[in-house]
Amino acid sequence: MEATRAKSGTGFGQSWRELSHTPTYQVPIVLGAFVALIVGILTYLFDASKAGAIVAATAAEAYLVVFGIVGLIGYAVSKQNVQNGSIVAMIAGLAIVVLVATQLGLFAGLLLLAGAIWSLASTR
């Protein structure tokens, strides 16, 4: 019976609805990764618009985008296995804190770290 049921509401809207069913301890992982990703992209866009042309991305912008994506991957993994996903998110958070020493980089990295530690602590 379950195999014949059609899946409705798939797509982008469905993924945001799943976030409302996310355990509370995983929310900082999503927020930290999302902040890192958005800050990296917006910083690049502001630099490009200021220069009036396509410019090379700085290392900090690239690290924010790459490790923001890694943090989101950690969240996706933590839906299946909380320990492994928390470790991935912790690595992304540590990398952001160490490699991007800006105020927003520290905020996003520490938010990822806090979420990963909270996830590990709550599953024990």
Residue 3 within any structural domain of the chain: no
| CA dihedral (53, 61, 20, 78) positive or negative | positive
Looking at the chain, the number of H-run helices and the number of E-run strands are 5, 0
List the domain range (segments joined by +) for residue 37: 24-122
Spatial distance between the Cα atoms of 73 and 110, rounded to a whole number of angstroms: 17
- Our count of domains for the chain comes to 1
Residue 78 within any structural domain of the chain: yes
Residue 84 within any structural domain of the chain: yes
Residue 16 within any structural domain of the chain: no
> Could you identify the residue written with the tokens 């800050």?
39
Residue 35 within any structural domain of the chain: yes
Dig out the tokens for 104 from the structure: 């927003």
pLDDT, one tens digit for every residue, the chain (124 residues): 455 544 555 555 566 666 667 788 889 999 999 999 999 999 999 999 999 989 999 999 999 999 999 999 999 999 899 999 999 999 999 999 999 988 999 999 999 999 999 999 988 7
Q: How many CB atoms lie within 10 A of CB 46?
A: 10
pTM here is 0.81
